[in-house]
Structure 1
Amino acid sequence: MPEKTLLELRNIGFIADDRKILDDVSLTLNRGELCIITGPSGCGKSTLLKIAATLLEPTSGTVILSGAESRTLKPEEYRKRVSYCFQTPLLFGSTVMDNLAFPYLIRGQRADEEKIRQGLLRLHLDAGIVYKTIDELSGGEKQRVALLRNLQYLPEVLLLDEVTSALDDDNKQIVHQLIDELVQEHQLGVLWISHNSDEIHSASHVFHMQPVAAEAAHE
């Protein structure tokens, strides 16, 4: 396997409630690549991303990270290297700072307040937002805070599930620019579910998905 290959999804299948969601899906992501996953609702895009994050176990096929099968890696090691950002942001605790400090806390480290401040500014969020409760945030603010939490320690692979869906056009462009910069500066590999034309056009490649044929669901 070439050294630049980060993540490989090989012959992935997934069945839920006797319905075939994914059928023999293969995809390779290299360092410094932004791959957009697109396709109609119900074609299994989010399921595929959750399998890549090891949040779901495929019915068949293999997830490979830098040449090692995911099942051979400790879950905590894998999830430090492969970071998943949900479409619906999952914030916890009471405040924004509770969320942004969490990646440091689980590593036994003190939160880097300057790094957090710089990240907020890059996402066009006021530094004072750290004192807000999560209930005070708009949907778009929650999405950006959740994304920034995932970026406090840069992973090797970043998995994004329609993370700009609650943002206006200006803030979509801000997030898009930040992700592009991280890919270029740090050679991240990014899998991004998106229907945004700007994000699609700037991708290294686009992976189009289609629903599994109904007749195949009962094979």
Structure 2
Amino acid sequence: MSTHPPLLDVQGVSYALAGKTLLAPVSLTLNAGDFLLLTGPSGCGKSTLLKIIASLLDPSHGSVVFKGQPVSELRPETYRQQVSWCCQTPALFGRTVWDNLALPWEIRHKKAEREKLQRWLQRVNLPADMLDKEIETLSGGEKQRVGLLRNLQFLPDVLLLDEVTSALDEENKQAVNGLINELMAEKGMATVWISHDSTEIHRAQRVLTLSPPLAGRRDEPA
């Protein structure tokens, strides 16, 4: 049995705002290569939980521990490079797709390679010449894939996905699913994915079903 602590350990995390409970207490653990899918009705706190894990919100109660260290004691910018959050409607920066995919390289003082970025685009069914396309002209599904690829330029230990295939057709969902599967298998990346898609639910190792606050929740095998 491994003596190493879990990659991610969430214990009794809840969240309330203005006296209203938005997330009932949740506990979960995550190890390298795990795939946990979050599901449940609107208003049960799925997105809130991911934002807490991503250190974008502070929990009202409970703790989040990463590799044995409380997240509250870690530098946010360092932690967020290792636990990366990608939302349903990503905020794209600059003017072009290149600006977004090159950004993770620039903040690490590295030079992005055009051919490498083109290969990433093709892995999610986007044309290589899209690098120079202006972000204002992108469809919702194209924005979702560009936002995801921006998070994957430097692979995190934990990838948090919030409905990132909601604007995609079945073919492009399969491309994204295949890419995430490959990265989990090859690199040991763990994934927590919010989805209502039956195919994505079927692929998960575990499914955590959240219920509206006060109604509880259940964690079960996929």
TM range (shorter): over 0.9
Worse-superposed segment, 19-28 or 102-111 = 19-28
* Aligned-pair CA distance for 1:6: 1.1
1:80 — aligned with what?
81
2:62 — aligned with what?
61
Paired positions, count:
214
Letter paired with 2:68: G
2:158 — aligned with what?
157
TM-score by length of 1: 0.95
1:32 — aligned with what?
33
| Higher RCO structure (Cα 8 Å, ≥6 apart) | 1
Residue 118 in structure 1 maps to residue 109 in structure 2: no
2:200 — aligned with what?
199
* Aligned-pair CA distance for 1:13: 1.2
Residue 166 in structure 1 maps to residue 167 in structure 2: yes
Give the gaps of 5 or more residues in structure 2: 216-222
Distance 1:56 1:171 in 2: 31
Map 1:78-117 to 2 at 5 A: 78-117=79-118
Q: Can you list the C-alpha shifts for 1:72-116, whole angstroms capped at 9, x where unaligned? A: 111111011000001111101100000000001101111122221
Task: Answer whether contact 2:24 2:214 (CA < 8 A) is retained.
Answer: no
Q: Can you list the C-alpha shifts for 1:161-188, whole angstroms capped at 9, x where unaligned? A: 0000011111111111111111111110
Distance 1:139 1:74 in 2: 33
Task: Answer whether contact 2:5 2:68 (CA < 8 A) is retained.
Answer: no
2:181 — aligned with what?
180
1:217 — aligned with what?
none
Distance 2:170 2:8 in 1: 30
Distance 1:4 1:170, change over 3 A: farther
Distance 1:112 1:4 in 2: 36
Task: Answer whether contact 1:4 1:31 (CA < 8 A) is retained.
Answer: no
* Aligned-pair CA distance for 1:158: 0.2
1:15 — aligned with what?
16
Task: Answer whether contact 2:15 2:23 (CA < 8 A) is retained.
Answer: yes
Letter paired with 1:108: H
Distance 1:166 1:208, change over 3 A: same
TM-score by length of 2: 0.93
Distance 2:30 2:64 in 1: 12
Task: Answer whether contact 1:92 1:98 (CA < 8 A) is retained.
Answer: yes
Give the gaps of 5 or more residues in structure 1: 215-219
Q: Percent identity?
A: 53
Q: Can you list the C-alpha shifts for 1:110-132, whole angstroms capped at 9, x where unaligned? A: 11222211111111110100110
